[in-house]
Structure 1
Amino acid sequence: MSESSVHNRHDEFLRPQPRTIMTPLPVSGPRPRVWAIGISKLRDLYRDIAGEYDARADLRLISRGFEDAVNEIAAAGADRPDIVVAAGSNGTYLKARVSVPVVLVAPTGFDVMHALARARRDGASVALVTHGETPGELRRFVSAYGIDVVFASYESAQDAETCVLDLRDRGVETVVGPGLVTDLAVRAGMGAVFLYSRASVRTAFDNALDVAQATRREAVRRQRLDSVLQHLRDGVVALDAQGRVEAINQRLALTLGIDPATAAGKLLLDLAPDIANAVPDAEGESLETVRGVSYVVHRGPLADNGVTTGTVLTFQESRAVERLDRTLRSRQRAQQFAARYTLDDIVGECAAIERVRSLVRRYAQSDATVLIRGESGTGKEMVAQSIHQASARRDFPFVAINCGSFPEALLESELFGYEEGAFTGARRGGKAGLIEAAHRGTLFLDEIGEMPLPLQSRLLRVLQEREVVRLGSTEPTRIDVRIVAATHRGLTEGIDAGEFRADLYYRLNILNIALPPLRERQADILPLAAELLVQAARREPRLARQVRNGTDAANALHAVRVPLSEHSWPGNVRELQNVIERIAVELADPEAGELTHDVLRSIAPELFERTAREAASLTLRQRSRRVEADEIRAALDACNGDRDQVCEMLGISKTTLWRKLNDVAQAGGAKPRSRSLR
């Protein structure tokens, strides 16, 4: 290194260093408490500049040192300082013995050079005494300028006295050093120059305020973090690298039976020895039992600048995990498994349909299983969806499955789900079944009479235990699901034939709804046809201009109302919908004329063939009996099977009522339903 570069470096060392002015972040609360601890000359410097900090700090001057200063800080209790300013051996002593931050007064290069220059004027032989090792840069600077200075250092007050006496014996006339050293030098009859300046003390005070503000901000941050921890539903504890508690929330502290206020800084295993086996050895999760309660324990790292400095443990009750799992399962595929129909979609004003609506409203308030009976096409699924929509489960899935449309093996996996590897072609990760998908909602089992016998046994267990076991699994999954089943066939006949389990039947037939066929709802045929035509018009833009509402639809169907009304509709509403779709296509054609009998005959010949065949096969007396029987059945439905009320309504006796129904049965008509009479 050249001589000029050495001089440049040491000129920089000699020049007073400017302070970096940092605008502190605003911190609410009182002024920070700063204790300036020093004796002799340092105390006088404190006093000289203390007034400059009245607005920024609660500054207190303490004329004590070493153990006396430690005791005074300890005795202050809640009024103890936020930060301490001290110098030399006194400051080093305090840093090792008090829990509050200590900022040391450090002389600048300008302070050292200025003090050495004064000392050279007072004596030929000068010594620079510092606490601890003399900085190497200072030695190089003195050597570069050829200054004759003796360097010495001390560690304690006793070392300082020995050091000063030794320098006197070596012929040193003037000592440059901290207040303790200069006081000792004066008592030893030597010249003394105090090392510190007002600038170095101001720098220490400013640094102390910066540290105090940073500490307060950190305390506020920790307080907010602690508040977040306290509001967590799970138990959480943060540990340092040695396993000591840095933070713990109230929930975990109560679980472990420890005081969260005194837990910080203590080993977690000392506070709760029984937790040792519940802490995973590596990062990740494990299911553990703590004081008789099952927890999912998660272990994760706490990192500082990319270096792991501790661990965070989270304790989550397994019951809470199960509740969350049920909630998530209930929301999965919500759009796919949603009911579309409500009670308002059931069209009809006859007594039988009014009875169905009344039962739907009543049964929707219960969670009991419902069995819906009715011919194919009578609207069993629409009724099931209406029950779901009117129930408290309306916001959860409505899952419908046709038990007669799947092969037995496929139906089992669809209903109950399967684990990974349960069979060849099983989806990776497994699959939840439709019963699980209906959790907290409604499971609609259409054509329940077609379910294979082995699956009937498994379904019976679901109904009894409210849990489902996936294929390939041994662990049951708890479910909360309402079952609605439907059938077009007589289940009691299936029981007699050995095709349906009697115990399952009695589990299903708790609440029941019987849907009347369309031929028994003759007054509803035309309103239904009009509503179906309006729905078809919404899907066909060409027809939408002609059929805007029910009145337009009724007018369009007026010419064919008789064949529509007189047809027996063996396919029920489904058959009626098919015919209306054909009519909609015909009406949407701008080149087609009005809808007439001939047009209807051409697009739906079965309406006229069946009517003609039935008319030819029945005598006038039989037709009269059938009309009479239909009226009697309608009266029975309207009176909820009360025969006395029916007889009063029709003006006939009970004997006449039974005779007329039996006459129709003998003639090949529908059999009288003894269940309807009471």
Structure 2
Amino acid sequence: MKPRIVVFSISALAGTLREIARDYSSSANIELVPKAYEDALAYARNRYYTDTADVFIAAGSNGAFLQNQLEAPLVIIRTDGFDVMQALASARKASAAVGLVSYEHSFDELEQFARAFDVPLSTRTYRTPEDARRAVRELAQLGVKVVVGSGLVTEIAQEMGMEAILIYSRQGVVKAFEEAIRLASAKASGGLRRNSQAYTYHTEQDLIGKSRAVEKLRNTIRLCGSIDFSVLIQGETGVGKELVAQSIHSASPRAGKPFVAINCASLTESLLESELFGYEEGAFSGAVKGGRAGMFESAQGGTVFLDEIGDMPLAFQTRLLRILEDNTVRRIGSASSRKVDFRLLAASNVNLQQAVEEGRFREDLYFRLNEMLIHIPPLRERAEDIGELAGYFLRTTPVRVSKSKFDAFLQLALPVLQSLPWPGNIRQLKNVCRRAAVLMLQESDLSSWRTWFPDLLVGMENSPRSPLQQTNPSEVMNNMNALALAYSRAPMSERASIVREALNLVSGEVNRAAEGLGISRSTVWRLNKGS
């Protein structure tokens, strides 16, 4: 039987949903229902409990309302900074006075985007339809002519005589449909619970790069897949810890079973308890009829991935240790324990050994998790992979820019990109490539690409000489040789200033400074930061 998917929309998004739904008619039964909020909730509950629908889709404030109330699989149509920038690029063609009304949160890259495009941008957020109407009215009073926002926001703006651009992209809708179909399939196989990732699709071949560090990581993933041990994955934010966790699951004999992930830092203690351990009917106010299995039960035979485990409260650490030792779990409100079988993968971007020393993490749990340890190197330590990663992110960005233009951008930007510290690692590089792709739609002259990233290249433009100004390479080499000699003879207290001189000499390019001084890139970063 094909998946049965119900999509809720009462706004301008409905047209896009209807058009894309036709593309999935052969793989799913998709029904568009013009209901929202309480009406949508009552309709969804009736369909789910009568077993006439498998998964629901919604967006914006309607999606947020259902997410907090509906005890059924729900997919939210998401937007990200890339969608916003695409919509703003379209809005700018209609007027210089642009406003953005987003649901609950703003987007970090908007300030840099507005500065790069020289767009006077006014932003507002909303939670309810009344908030949205008030926000649009405020923008109109400020002289805004074009409003970017959700279907609800665009309809309100058009009612007030303003132009409107829908914030959702076709790609975002397609992703939601794809996820809904996967969740429906997982539900049919008995491996789904609400708000969990009960499917997995990454393998070690999805790791992009040919550096020795990446090859070593692939080999370690295959090794961990063959041994049914707990694995602790450590690495900075944005390095791809969940991708590695999914790859280990895919390489293991448990690959056909659920992969259930939860971020320990994203939930309150009460929510974390019910998500981890589950609960019985009547265990607390709001507990659903029949109770609900926790993630350990839902992952029966498969893998549990606890992200940001360093943020797990100590009380839960004690309970987790007991589950790992006894292979049993007790739901909230239950007097009996249930047998569970799962493999545990955990990840942290903090030093758990230091957390143990500071009393923030149990030592016995740390040793139990650390049967196998994987350290994912930060992007700055595998700079040779940045070209391949950036090329992949540019090619897979849904922007109609020619490959030759992408290649021209990389030829100009790659030496600088390989020299940056990338505190946000691969996630940050992906966002940079997305921003670049959007800006290429507007800019024909790629030589000004540095102005697109004032936040990324801070300090580099103020260096004494840029690469284009270095008309005498032999002079640069002589100066670098002198600095290398001075560095080798200098006491530790003076080496940081020599490193900064070398960075100024090569316009902040860390690779060239490290090579010229005969030291590692990490030493350059450490001394330049003054640590």
TM bucket normalised to smaller = 0.5 to 0.7
Q: 1:576 aligns with which of 429, 433, 452?
A: 429
What residue in structure 1 maps to residue 321 of structure 2?
460
Change (3 A) 1:442 1:632: farther
User: Secondary structure in 1 aligned to 2:418?
Assistant: helix
What residue in structure 1 maps to residue 446 of structure 2?
595
Partner amino acid, structure 2, of 1:573: I
Within-5 A mapping of 1:4-23: none
Q: CA RMSD in A?
A: 3.2
**Residues 329 and 436 of structure 1 are in contact (CA less than 8 Å); yes or no, is this contact kept in structure 2?**
no
User: Secondary structure in 2 aligned to 1:401?
Assistant: strand
Q: When the two structures are aligned, how many residues end up with a matched partner?
A: 306
Shift of 1:339: 1.3
**Residues 349 and 524 of structure 1 are in contact (CA less than 8 Å); yes or no, is this contact kept in structure 2?**
yes
Partner amino acid, structure 2, of 1:393: R
Q: Which has the higher contact order (CA 8 A, sep 6+)?
A: 2
What residue in structure 1 maps to residue 311 of structure 2?
450
Shift of 1:536: 1.0
Counterpart CA distance in 1 for 2:259 and 2:313 is: 23
Which string of whole-angstrom CA distances, capped at 9 and with x for unpartnered residues, describes residues 569-616 of structure 1?
1110111111111112123x2x531433x2x33332122215458999
Shift of 1:568: 1.2
Task: Say whether residues 1:341 and 2:202 are aligned partners.
Answer: yes
Change (3 A) 1:574 1:614: farther
Which string of whole-angstrom CA distances, capped at 9 and with x for unpartnered residues, describes residues 136-182 of structure 1?
xxxxxxxxxxxxxxxxxxxxxxxxxxxxxxxxxxxxxxxxxxxxxxx
Shift of 1:383: 0.6
Task: Say whether residues 1:608 and 2:457 are aligned partners.
Answer: yes
Shift of 1:421: 0.9
Shift of 1:344: 1.4
Task: Say whether residues 1:472 and 2:333 are aligned partners.
Answer: yes
Within-5 A mapping of 1:264-303: none
Change (3 A) 1:632 1:373: farther
Change (3 A) 1:355 1:612: farther
Change (3 A) 1:558 1:666: closer
What residue in structure 1 maps to residue 291 of structure 2?
430
Counterpart CA distance in 2 for 1:411 and 1:630 is: 50
Q: 2:420 aligns with which of 567, 589, 613?
A: 567
Counterpart CA distance in 2 for 1:536 and 1:491 is: 36
Counterpart CA distance in 2 for 1:611 and 1:457 is: 49
Q: 1:519 aligns with which of 380, 393, 402?
A: 380
**Residues 563 and 607 of structure 1 are in contact (CA less than 8 Å); yes or no, is this contact kept in structure 2?**
no
Counterpart CA distance in 1 for 2:307 and 2:463 is: 31
Change (3 A) 1:336 1:381: closer
Partner amino acid, structure 2, of 1:607: L
Q: 1:394 aligns with which of 255, 269, 279?
A: 255
**Residues 196 and 262 of structure 2 are in contact (CA less than 8 Å); yes or no, is this contact kept in structure 1?**
no
Shift of 1:367: 1.0
Partner amino acid, structure 2, of 1:595: L
What residue in structure 2 maps to residue 87 of structure 1?
none
Partner amino acid, structure 1, of 2:410: L
Task: Say whether residues 1:407 and 2:268 are aligned partners.
Answer: yes
What residue in structure 2 maps to residue 507 of structure 1?
368
Task: Say whether residues 1:493 and 2:354 are aligned partners.
Answer: yes
Counterpart CA distance in 1 for 2:518 and 2:333 is: 56
User: Secondary structure in 2 aligned to 1:444?
Assistant: strand
What residue in structure 2 maps to residue 441 of structure 1?
302
Counterpart CA distance in 2 for 1:612 and 1:592 is: 20
Where structure 2 has 5 or more consecutive residues not aligned to the other structure, the ranges are 1-187, 465-495, 504-509
Task: Say whether residues 1:627 and 2:514 are aligned partners.
Answer: yes
Shift of 1:619: 2.8
Change (3 A) 1:398 1:352: same
Shift of 1:479: 1.2
**Residues 337 and 397 of structure 1 are in contact (CA less than 8 Å); yes or no, is this contact kept in structure 2?**
yes
Shift of 1:626: 7.0
Partner amino acid, structure 2, of 1:375: E
Misfit runs of 4+, over 3 Å: 327-336, 551-556, 610-618, 620-626, 628-634, 663-671
Compare 604-613 and 401-410 and name the one that shifted more: 604-613
Change (3 A) 1:624 1:567: closer
**Residues 393 and 442 of structure 1 are in contact (CA less than 8 Å); yes or no, is this contact kept in structure 2?**
yes
Change (3 A) 1:666 1:534: closer
Which string of whole-angstrom CA distances, capped at 9 and with x for unpartnered residues, describes residues 198-231 of structure 1?
xxxxxxxxxxxxxxxxxxxxxxxxxxxxxxxxxx
Counterpart CA distance in 1 for 2:501 and 2:427 is: 30
Shift of 1:625: 11
Where structure 1 has 5 or more consecutive residues not aligned to the other structure, the ranges are 1-326, 635-660, 672-678
Partner amino acid, structure 2, of 1:619: R
**Residues 418 and 472 of structure 1 are in contact (CA less than 8 Å); yes or no, is this contact kept in structure 2?**
yes
What residue in structure 1 maps to residue 394 of structure 2?
533
Within-5 A mapping of 1:628-667: 667=527
Counterpart CA distance in 2 for 1:632 and 1:430 is: 60
Task: Say whether residues 1:351 and 2:212 are aligned partners.
Answer: yes
